[in-house]
Structure 1
Amino acid sequence: MSLASIKSFVSRVAGDGALRDKLHAAAGVDDIVAIAAAHGHEIDKAVLLREHAKVLATAQDHELAGINSWGDALMHCFGATEND
């Protein structure tokens, strides 16, 4: 539910290509929360959205231009890349 839970999930995503693909296919935040839950991570939607908004508010335009899915957005906001 906390930021630590989100970061733990994102860390797992960074090392798991199949899980990353599921996130890229997510239609929205509810899907992200459900995917996280299915993999043992309890994430609160409100905390996720609030933390996501904080990071996006300070992102550069070129960073935002590279976000093409909810999975990209989650990984960008919480410091994971597909190269991790």
Structure 2
Amino acid sequence: MSESALASFVNLTRSDSQVRDQVRQAATPMHVVNLAKEKGHVFTQATMMKMQAEKMKQLHDDHINDASSWGEALLICFGEHS
């Protein structure tokens, strides 16, 4: 359930620029977990970080190096670049 909730939240970040901006500004994983929970998507910090690590394996370092925040790096990992 946690992984499907994270997938739903990722889809929300793709369709809602306000949520995407809030994630982009997140300083820690817990900020994202709490934001997602406010929006009705409950998942653990561990689930999010595990899925992010899996996605990072597929990206070139240059993609992540361009991120200006932890939250932006998360968005890049999940395919949200704008």
Task: Please tell me the TM-score bracket, short chain as reference.
Answer: 0.7 to 0.9
For 1:17 and 1:44, the matched residues in 2 are separated by 23
Gaps in structure 2 of 5+ consecutive residues: none
TM-score by length of 1: 0.82
Deviation at 1:41, TM superposition (A): 0.4
Corresponding residue pairs, total: 82
Q: Percent identity?
A: 30
CA distance in 2, matches of 1:59, 1:34: 26
| C-alpha deviation, 1:40, in angstroms | 0.6
Structure 1: which 5+ runs fail to align?
A: none
1:80 equivalent to 2:75? Answer no
Kindly state the Cα deviation for residue 71 of structure 1 after the two structures are TM-superposed: 2.6
**Aligned AA (1:56):** M
Match of 2:21 in 1: 21
Q: Is the 8 A contact 2:24 2:70 kept in 1?
A: yes
How far residue 27 of structure 1 moved from its aligned partner, in angstroms, is 1.3
AA at the equivalent of 2:60: Q
Asked which structure has the greater RCO (Cα within 8 Å, sep 6+), the reply is: 1
Q: Cα RMSD over matched residues?
A: 1.6
